[in-house]
Amino acid sequence: MEPRITLITLAVADLQRSLAFYRDGLGWPTEGIVGEEIENGAVVFFDLQKGMKLALWPRTSLAAEARVAAEGMSAATFEIAHNVHTRQEVDEVVALARAAGAKVTNPPAHRAWGGYSAHFQDPDGHLWEIAWNPDPRFAVD
């Protein structure tokens, strides 16, 4: 099994609300909701760097297709990191997310691992880290 991730899907309670947060709030381009003609198919895709995609998908659809329980939500299950080029950019992205309605759980600050970062939760509680990391292994193109 090759170490490869092609797509990250965030399960959401309200597809329109999440579309508004990511498209209008954070400014990420998307075609909007597609796939409505398929059962459990309504989904929003964002093209990320280098062929990666992020999807927003109703939690009920994910639960039905993956055959898992739809109930419950925990913040400390995973996080997605968005690395940036400068410390100032961390502040800017957090301000943008806050204006878009994100809950900032951890304001921008210098970290023991040598960088500068902050955390926020999207409307469903999904956890994002916005990070500037001087370690060249985490350099952003």
Spatial contact of 15 and 42, defined as CB atoms under 8 Å apart: yes
Read off the tokens for 113.
């691992």
Residue 41 or 134 having the CB closest to a copy of itself: 41
Burial tier of 141 (Cβ tally within 10 Å: 0-12, 13-18, 19+): exposed
Counting contacts by CB under 8 A, is residue 44 touching a copy of itself? no
Counting contacts by CB under 8 A, is residue 72 touching a copy of itself? yes
| DSSP 8-state secondary structure symbol assigned to residue 139 | -
The only residue of 16, 31, 32, 48 in contact with a copy of itself, by rule CB under 8 A: 48
CA separation for the pair 23, 46 (Å, rounded): 9
CA separation for the pair 24, 38 (Å, rounded): 26
Whole-number CA gyration radius for the chain: 16
| Subset of residues 77 to 106 that bind a copy of itself, contact rule: CB under 8 A | 77-83, 93, 96-97, 105-106
Counting contacts by CB under 8 A, is residue 34 touching a copy of itself? no
Give the count of residues interacting with a copy of itself (CB under 8 A).
68
Contacting residues toward a copy of itself, per CB under 8 A: 1-11, 26-29, 35, 38-41, 46-54, 59, 62-63, 65-83, 93, 96-97, 105-106, 111-113, 119, 121, 126-127, 129, 131, 138, 140-141
